[in-house]
Amino acid sequence: MPSLPVVNQPPHRCGALIDHVARRLRLRSESVLAPLGIRPRHLIALTVLRDRGESSQQDLAKILEMDGTNVVGLLNDLEAENLVERRRSTADRRRHVVELTDVGAKLLARAEFALAAVEDEVFSALSDDQRETLYELLQQATRRTGPEACREADPC
């Protein structure tokens, strides 16, 4: 059956593409975010906290995929600005439960608003519908990242 192989073309890889777009976004974001006193990676952390709700620092380290010691520094920054709150977990008093504060939520909203122009520029070739689709795809990709992120019964 010589008609089959055409269908079976290799899937496109978008790794380099994503990296490229992310870089362009980040470059522009830095200057926009600076007046708000935060940097791109702070924004990522705040976003994760908003989308996932309170998390332990280990969870954050796992999700952000960065070293635990660096998460500490990141949270120190955010807590110093009162954007985030660290509470001791009642269940396990070694743990810190990290949660977005009202101030943090508001700042996150303001940051996203401020970034509107940046995204408009980088995604100028995309329609509103396409941007929404992009958002949903990324959201879905990050929400459940596969079986390796959480093992056993922990809700992660």
Site stretch for a copy of itself (CB under 8 A), options 52-60, 75-83, 93-101, 107-115? 107-115
Of 108, 101, 89, nearest to 42 by C-alpha is 108
Which 75-114 positions form the footprint of DNA (CB under 7 A)? 75-76, 86, 92-96
Interface characters, 57-96, with a copy of itself (x: CB under 8 A): -------xx-------------------------------
Q: Which of 70, 76, 82, 130 binds a copy of itself (CB under 8 A)?
A: 130
Angstrom CA distances, 122 to 4, 22, 106, 142, stand at: 38, 10, 24, 21
The two tokens of residue 137 are: 């795809």
Rounded least distance, CB 111 to DNA, Å: 15
- What is the edge-to-edge ordering of all strands in the sheet holding 96-100? 55-56, 96-100, 84-88
Helix, strand or coil, per DSSP, at residue 9: coil
The two tokens of residue 116 are: 């509107």
Residues contributing to the site for DNA (CB under 7 A): 23, 27, 39, 41, 56-58, 61, 65-73, 75-76, 86, 92-96
